[in-house]
Amino acid sequence: MNYKELVFAFNRIGIALSSETKMNKLFNLIVDEIIEFADCDACSLYIKNLDKHELIFEATKTVSLLKKDESSVFKSFSVPLTRKSISGYTAITGETVNICDCYKIGEDKEYDFDKSYDKKTGYRTVSMLSVPMRSTDGDILGVIQLINKIDKNGNIVPFSAEFEQIILSLASQAAVALSNVRLLEANKNLYKALVKSFSQAIEERSPHTAGHSKRVAFISEMIAKHINNKTEGVYSNIFFTYEKLEELKYAALLHDVGKVAVPENVLEKQNKLSDDEMEVITNRFETIKFSITLNMSDMDEIKKAIDGVDNELNFIISKNLPGFISDEDKIKVKEIGAKFYTEFDGTQHSYLTEKEIFMLTDFVKGNFSPDEWEKMKKHVSSTLDILKEVPFTEELKDIPKIAGAHHEMLDGSGYPYHLGHENIMLQSRILAVADVFEALTAADRPYKKAVPLDRSIKILEFMAKDGELDKDIVQMFLDDKLYEIYLDARDNDRIIV
C-alpha cells in the first residue's frame, strides 16, 4: 500500500468510526475495518473494565471460518486482566506484542498463547499482533488483536515492524471513537436521569396524579410501536426509529413538568371551595340558626326554619363537589346566597358572599374558577419554557415541541397557542390521545371520579369527530383494542417505561 492509498484508507476508516454512535456496532465496525485494512484473517477486540479488573471480549471475526459457515452468534464475555494472557499483557503494560508463531512463544515471556479456541474450532493461529487502544490522555481503553496476516499469495506471514506503527495509529483512532461513543452514552444516561428526576418531581407534588406521566408514556410508546407494525392504511409508510421512540417516551414523561409552577392550592384543589372556605360557611350557618332562635318565639316555627337552613347548607355542600351544575341549581345557590340574617351586633349579612356564589356557580373546568383554570393551563407553556432550556441532543431535540403541544387540538381549540392540525406533530397527536384517555379512566384525580370505560370511549370518539383529536389515531387505538392492552397492564401493575 503506497502513501496515498494509506492516507485515503485512514480517512475512510476515521470517518466510518467517528460516525458510529452505538457501542456494539462500533466494536464490530472496528473489527471489520481492521481486517479489511490489514489483510489479516481474524481480529478480536477487548475492552478494559478496571472496576472488576478484567477484559471484556467484545467482538471477534474470523474470515476463513465465516467462509466455511462455521460461525456462531458471538456473545461477549470477560477474562481476567492478567499478564499471563497476550491481551492482558498488552492492556496492562501498553506494549505491542508481535508474534511470528503463537505455538513457538519463548519461555522467557510472561504471557502465553491460549490454544483452547484452536482446539475447539480446528483453527490454526500463527502470527498475531496485539496493540493497545490508547486515548488522547494516554489511558489504555482496550486491546486489538490481529491474527494471521495474509500475503498476496494467500500465505500466512508475520506482521512487519513497519505495520505495527500503522495499526497503532488505527487503534488510536478506534480509541477516540470509543471515547466519543462513551461520552454520548454518558450524555444519554444523564438525560434519562434528568427525565426521571423531572417526572418524579411533579408526581411528588401531587400524590393524586402520581403515575400519570408514566402511564401516558406507556400508552404513547405502545401506540407508536403499533404504528410501526402497520403494513397498510394511513400509517403504512410511517416508522418510528428507536431514537424517535425514546424521544416520544421522554416527552410523555415530561409533558406535565410545568406543573411545578402551578400554585399548590390550585394543583391540589379537590372541590370548588376549599375546606377552610367551607368551614367558614358552615360556621356562618350555625350563626344563622342561632339568630333564628333569638328572633323567633314559636318553637315549631324555629324548628322549621332551622331545618330549612340545614337543608340549604347541605345543598351548598353538595354543590361544592366538582362536576356539572344545572341552571336550576345555579339559581337556587344564588337565591340562598341572597338571603340575609342578623348578626349579634344587629348588622345584616348575606348567607353567601359574592365570591362564594361565584365559585359555586361559575367554575369553568371541574372545580376551577376561570382564574384558577388559567393558572392550571399555564403548566403547558411552563413545560415548554423549562424544556427549551435543556440542551437536548440532536436525537432528542423535539422533546419540548412534542410535550408543549399535548393540549393542542387539531381544530385550533386547544391551548396554550391554539395550533392547527398543520402545526401539530404526529408525536404530539399521539401524546394528546394518550393523555386524554389516561385522564378519563384514572381513578386518582382529586376533582373527578374515573369515567366508565364505555363512556371514555364515547368521549374519545366525539373528540375525534369534532376535530379535536386525530381521528386516525383514535380509530386505531379503539379498533385494535390498544386500550385493553393498556388497562390490563395498568390493573396488573405492569406499567414499565
CA distances from 378 to 255, 285, 341 (A): 12, 37, 41
* pLDDT tens-digit readout, 94-148: 999 999 999 999 989 999 999 988 998 889 999 999 999 888 888 899 899 999 9
Nearest CA to 460 among 73, 451, 325, 397? 451
Q: Report the pLDDT value the prediction gives residue 482, as an integer from 0 to 100.
A: 97
Pair 308, 443 in one domain:
no
Residue with cell 503506497: 2
Closest C-alpha among 378, 156, 168 to residue 266: 378
Q: In terms of DSSP H, where are the helices of 39-149?
A: 63-67, 86-93, 116-121
Residues 88 and 162 in one domain: yes
Q: What is the CATH number of the domain that holds 383?
A: 1.10.3210.10
Predicted confidence (pLDDT) per residue in 16-36, tens digit = 666 666 777 888 888 888 888
Main-chain phi, psi angles of 301, to 5 degrees: -65, -40
Residue 466 forms part of a structural domain: yes
Provide DSSP, 118-140: HHHH------EEEEEEE-TTS-E
pLDDT per position as a tens digit, 329-385: 999 999 999 999 988 777 889 999 998 998 888 765 667 777 877 888 888 888 899
* pLDDT surpassing 70 at residue 169: yes
Q: Is there a single domain that holds both residue 280 and residue 224?
A: no
**Count of beta carbons in the 10 Å neighbourhood of residue 460:** 23
Residue 71 has pLDDT above 50, yes or no: no
Q: What average pLDDT score do residues 464-476 get? A: 95
C-beta separation of 474 from 463 below 8 A: yes
CATH of the domain at 169: 3.30.450.40
Assess if residue 105 is contained within a domain. Answer: yes
Q: 426 phi and psi, to 5 degrees? A: -60, -40
Core vs surface per residue 426-442: b (16+ CB within 10 A) or e: bbbbbbbbbbbbbbbbb
The residues, any chain, with a CB within 8 Å of residue 424's CB and separated by 6 or more, are 405, 408, 410
**Is 197 within a domain?**
no
Instruction: Examine residue 189 and state whether it is found in any structural domain, yes or no.
Output: no
10 Å CB burial of residue 217 (0-12, 13-18, 19+) is buried
Nearest Cα to Cα of residue 128 among 89, 179, 173: 89
Please tell me whether residues 227 and 256 are part of one structural domain.
yes
Cis, bond preceding 370 (omega within 30 deg of 0)? no
pLDDT top residue among 322 and 167: 167
User: Dihedral through CA 251, CA 253, CA 255, CA 258, nearest 10?
Assistant: -120
The pLDDT, as a whole number, for residue 2 is 47
Exposed / middle / buried, residue 197 (Cβ in 10 Å: 0-12, 13-18, 19+):
exposed
26 lies in some domain? yes
pLDDT higher than 90, residue 486: yes
* Claim to verify: residue 377 and residue 320 sit in the same structural domain: no
Q: Looking at the structure, tell me whether residues 152 and 26 fall in a common domain.
A: yes
Q: How far apart are CA 370 and CA 272, in angstroms?
A: 11
pLDDT at residue 449 is higher than 70: no
Which helix (H) or strand (E) is 98 found in, with range? strand 97-99
Classify residue 421: in a domain, yes or no.
yes
Tell me, yes or no, whether 321 and 384 share the same domain: no
CA distance 316 to 272: 11
Name the burial class of residue 287, with classes exposed (0-12), middle (13-18) and buried (19+) by CB atoms within 10 angstroms of its CB: middle
Q: What is the residue type of 222? A: M
319, 340, 367 - which closes a domain = 367
User: Domain check: are 89 and 237 in the same one?
Assistant: no
Same-domain status, 162 and 239? no
CA 262/CA 269 separation, integer angstroms? 11
What is d(CA 470, CA 223) in angstroms, rounded to the nearest whole number?
13
Q: What is the pLDDT of residue 262?
A: 79
d(CA 315, CA 186): 59
User: Residue 157 in 3-state DSSP?
Assistant: strand
Cα–Cα dist 411/478, whole Å: 21
- Which amino acid, 52? K
pTM for the whole thing? 0.67
Number of structural domains found in the chain: 3
Q: What is the pLDDT of residue 466?
A: 92
Query: What pLDDT is recorded for position 10?
Result: 56
- Which residue, 350, 367, 384, sits at the end of a domain? 367
Q: Are residues 134 and 16 in the same domain?
A: yes
In a domain, 71, yes or no: yes
Pick the residue with more confidence: 2 or 213? 213
Residue that terminates a domain, selected from 153, 184, 215: 184
234 and 304 share one domain: no
The residue range of the domain holding 414 is 206-265+371-491
Contact by Cβ (8 Å): 52, 79: no
Is residue 198 situated within a structural domain? no
Element (H, E) at 62: strand 54-62
Residues 313 and 292 in one domain: yes
